[in-house]
Chains A and B, each alone.
Chain A
Amino acid sequence: MDLLKFLGRIWDAVTSLTRPPNAATLFRRADLYRQEGRFEEAADLVAQGMRISPNNGVGHLLSAYLHLAFRQIDPAKSEFHSVLRLDPYHPRALLGLAKIALEERDLVACRPYLDKALQYYPDFPEARALQEMVVGWSANAVPAAGAPTFMGPALQIEKLRPPASGREFVLTQTDGTLVFSQHGDKDAEDLAAHVTQVYRIASATLQRAGLGQLRRGIVQAATETSFYRSNDRLVLAMTFPHDVKIGFGQLETDKLWTNSLRELGVRA
């Protein structure tokens, strides 16, 4: 009997080398590749696995992750929803959708996903970190329609004039209220929303790293560099062409920051 079992195992081992892998094996290998940053190979394996097992939750989840890794947001969202159709409380799918909602600045959609993810998995650290971050945001009242309005008096524009090469100068409160911008139009509101979002997430990241409150930031893109200054109430951002000297950009940003604080301080 033992000999038969032994021979059976050998037979299984030999035939497994020639048998095509099943979906679970493909997904397991895909996940290993994903963890090594080998996204293209992982995606190929997931596609193979999904052909064998099209309603597999693990496959849909891996597929969602890989779409996100390739910055393909709509397909990722669709795959996360496929996971939730199979398991409505799947914490990783809920977290994935919460993150996408955050990217889309849809806080109303984001919060329930995080709440639901933490309902059955209260020790889910990533979801907890994001929930703690956005809970802080809800403390700031934001009107349902449009951007919040700055209630203070108008600032003297001539004292807040950026240097010739500076553009997209914007001053906001940390709740997103636009205080002042170089251009008073819809673009200014979009810019203020982005600056506020960067401030909020960067602050949360610094605090998680145990480094304290955000004071300064520099964001470099291919053709422009943006400088940030902030305290716990205000955020200032200004953008220069990419070839700006960092020292010059910081100096000019500091000047505007000091003038802005003085203006608001005088009027407070």
Chain B
Amino acid sequence: MSPEPSAPARSTRAREFRRILAEMLKIDRVRGGLVVAADGLVIAASLPRGVAMEPLAALAATLGRELEVGGDRLKRTAFQAALFSADNGTVFLGSSPVGFVVVLGDREVNVGLVQWQLRKALATLEGAWGTTVQVPARPEDM
């Protein structure tokens, strides 16, 4: 059913997800975020008041899957990260073996900084699965 587990410290994953989310929430103008599995299960979440968790998680997981599956259909390489901006803010989405990391920023959020931090977070998650991902040293290098 599953690929061979390769992570040395799987029992700490839940803590790692919460830590990653907490780091993202420290960024100025970031209003919330969640870690959601590909099936829509919320693993960790912190959302602004008035934003319901389950519907957002279901939509974010659906979006992540479309980016994975649709890209695959078009013979593109694996989707890594995305951002979608509206008049009042931006949704950032990163793909990882556990599912998707979602970050909500308001309209003044530093997009480059969040993208860089998200890449770092995703690399940490990849590391928890036993693979290594290179992340630029600074946001400007992305």
Chain A contacts to B: CB under 8 angstroms: 34-41, 43-44, 46-47, 63-72, 75-76, 95-96, 99, 102-103, 125-126, 128-130, 133, 168, 187, 190-191, 194, 197-198, 201-202, 204-224, 228, 246
Find chain A residues with CB under 8 A from B84 CB: 202, 205-206, 214, 216-217, 228
> Is the pair A37, B77 in contact by a Cβ cutoff of 8 Å?
no
> Is the pair B68, A129 in contact by a Cβ cutoff of 8 Å?
no
Find chain B residues with CB under 8 A from A204 CB: 59
Q: B13 at the A/B interface (Cβ < 8 Å)?
A: yes
Q: How far is the CB of B73 from chain A (nearest CB, A)?
A: 6
The answer to whether A202 and B63 touch (CB under 8 A), given A66-B1, A213-B86, A214-B86, is: yes
Contact of B10 among A41, A64, A66, A214 (CB under 8 A): A41
Find chain A residues with CB under 8 A from B77 CB: 221-224
Interface residues of B in 1-38 (CB under 8 A from A): 1-5, 10-11, 13-14, 17, 35, 37-38
Contacts between chains A and B (CB distance < 8 A), count: 193
Most buried by B among A37, A39, A41: A37
Q: In whole angstroms, how far apart are the Cα atoms of A43 and B14 in the complex? A: 17
Find chain A residues with CB under 8 A from B104 CB: 209, 211
Q: B121 at the A/B interface (Cβ < 8 Å)?
A: no
> Is the pair A37, B79 in contact by a Cβ cutoff of 8 Å?
no
The answer to whether A217 and B2 touch (CB under 8 A), given A191-B74, A209-B51, A222-B80, is: no
Contact of A194 among B1, B62, B63, B73 (CB under 8 A): B73
Find chain B residues with CB under 8 A from A99 CB: 39-40, 58, 61-62, 65
Q: In whole angstroms, how far apart are the Cα atoms of A158 and B52 in the complex? A: 47
Contact of B80 among A201, A208, A216, A221 (CB under 8 A): A221
Contact of B86 among A35, A130, A206 (CB under 8 A): A206
> Is the pair A198, B51 in contact by a Cβ cutoff of 8 Å?
no
Find chain A residues with CB under 8 A from B135 CB: none
Across the interface, name the chain A residue whose C-beta is closest to B71. A221
Q: How far is the CB of B62 from chain A (nearest CB, A)?
A: 5
Q: What is the interface residue range for chain B against chain A?
A: 35 or more
> Is the pair A69, B37 in contact by a Cβ cutoff of 8 Å?
yes
Q: How far is the CB of B72 from chain A (nearest CB, A)?
A: 10
Contact of A211 among B60, B69, B90, B142 (CB under 8 A): B90
Find chain B residues with CB under 8 A from A168 CB: 74
Find chain A residues with CB under 8 A from B63 CB: 198, 201-202, 205
> Is the pair A71, B79 in contact by a Cβ cutoff of 8 Å?
no
21 A-B contacts (beta carbon < 8 Å): A40-B3, A69-B37, A95-B40, A103-B66, A103-B69, A125-B52, A126-B54, A126-B55, A129-B54, A198-B66, A206-B86, A208-B55, A208-B59, A209-B104, A211-B90, A214-B84, A216-B84, A220-B80, A220-B81, A221-B80, A222-B77
